Chains A and B, each alone.
Chain A
Amino acid sequence: MIPVASETAAKVTPAQQAPVEQAHAALRGITRVYHTQGRSLHALGPVDLSLARGEFFSVVGPSGCGKSTLLDILAGLNPPQTGTADFEGKPILGVPDGVGVVFQEDACFPWLNVRDNVAFGLRRAGVEPTEIKRRVDYAIGFMGLKDFAASYPAQLSGGMRQRVCIARTLVLQPRLIMLDEPFGALDQQTRLIMGDELLRLWRETSATILLITHALDEAAMLSDRVGVMSTRPGTFIDIIETGWDRNRDSRVVSTPHFGGITARLWEKLRVEALKMMSTSELRSP
């Protein structure tokens, strides 16, 4: 189906004003400070964010602004210093049930073939073998890995290994899928195709998606909303609604509206990137 991109102008909603009462996942007043070798590094916050059920939200920001820390907090991997994080109305105290994460780095288990990689989480959770087979077959087929089910990760390209990781997350039927720069190591064409597959997955599963990315075009093409973060300590300086139709795909990149969103994102991010660069230059010897 040809995507219908909304031609309405991008709207800006300050993150602080997002309604959190009915949110699928929410962060309120989150901060994170790291203490290393007697020094403190204020990495994140204060941050407020609410994700609506079934929305596709992307986070962009300069390097080191705390994007991945934000994901880690929402995934229950890293507790915040202050503030609260909720998922489906319950406070996040560890990794919540119903959450799946895809990392930038290759997280395939090299000693397992594709089928066993995808089935790993299900076996660990004690799911029935027939159900495992059904779900794994579906996920492998969905991600276009049917002919590679018996292959080992070392036999696959970077893009295919990332598909294995997405399939491994998909089989667990998470209600919130978080992706930390999942296509960062891939070339532009593969990234566009993987973006289409991610949108297809999002439509079919109706999961809420949080995507951390440094690629403005990726965020502009994939998301319902894009949060722009400041330099460290990262806070949301803008949240842009893209207005895309749910049936969009990578062909939206040729529309003027896509250019408008990307330009708006860059306008906000350019200032922050320059700030980050000047800070780095000051720090370097």
Chain B
Amino acid sequence: MTTSTVVVRALSRRRFAIRENLGRWDVKYSPYAFISPFFIVFALVGLFPLAYTGWVSLHSWDLIGGEGGWTGFENFAFVLQQRQFWVALRNTMSIFLVSAVPQLIVATAIAAALDTNLRNRTFWRMSVLLPFVVMPVAVTLIFGSMFGERYGLVNRTLAEVGLGPIRWHTDPLASHIAIATMVNFRWTGYNALILLAGMQAIPRDLYEAATIDGATWLRRFFRITIPQLRPTVIFVIITATIGGLQIFDEPRLYDQNGLGGEDQQWMTMTIYLYKLGWTQLNFGRAAAVAWLLFVVIVAIGLINLALTRRIASAGAGR
């Protein structure tokens, strides 16, 4: 063995050691680098604002003057004493219920229809998703033109069968139904596809067994499909709750003023937040509403969870 080969070997061994070290560092720390973009951006635009909203809500704060003094829970107390806040809460819940309940029923029916051995399956699936590509702003402008009180298509059609006219922009419940229609136009097909995916995950031999036992289609649907679909339904309800309680686009564009109607008939929580922050220029109060909205969403989520759990255990007990 010559000295040169020894040197080369030593060198290459050293190089290998460095490489190995680098490799170990790479394995150990690269994953953190890979996930860091999410956490950095989230910290800046999610976590920091979350804490800062809390901070702002405890101060008097306006759009022009900026931070005023510490006011403790005064903003919360003020907001909670406003009639408008409770009206906004009522409207938000009402619109949510009026849209979510029929939407879930129709979406389940569509999913059941799509879960059969259809001709042109892809065509029908795509057809229910078509409304999803229309932005809520456009949906609202389109439907808004149908829900006019005097010349609207809906009232004209109702008049032809001897009904109405319904005061879509005056009566609170009527306005909620109109807004719920816009929401459901866009989301029913989307949720139907999610429910369809849930249905297709149900083991087919359950149906076979039931069919052999002579169960009718309706019986199979209520005894197998619906109970097996529960996790998917919970998923749909939770996402619909988070989205639905934040509703802004539709009520904002339901009339030209965008503040939820003359008597706040369709003023939702987010419209109220916007009104406090950007027309009354009071960020402290707007931030308080933001936190209250968050509390409402969490509360509704927990109620949903408890309800579905109770229904689940009752179903298991039978």
Same complex:
no
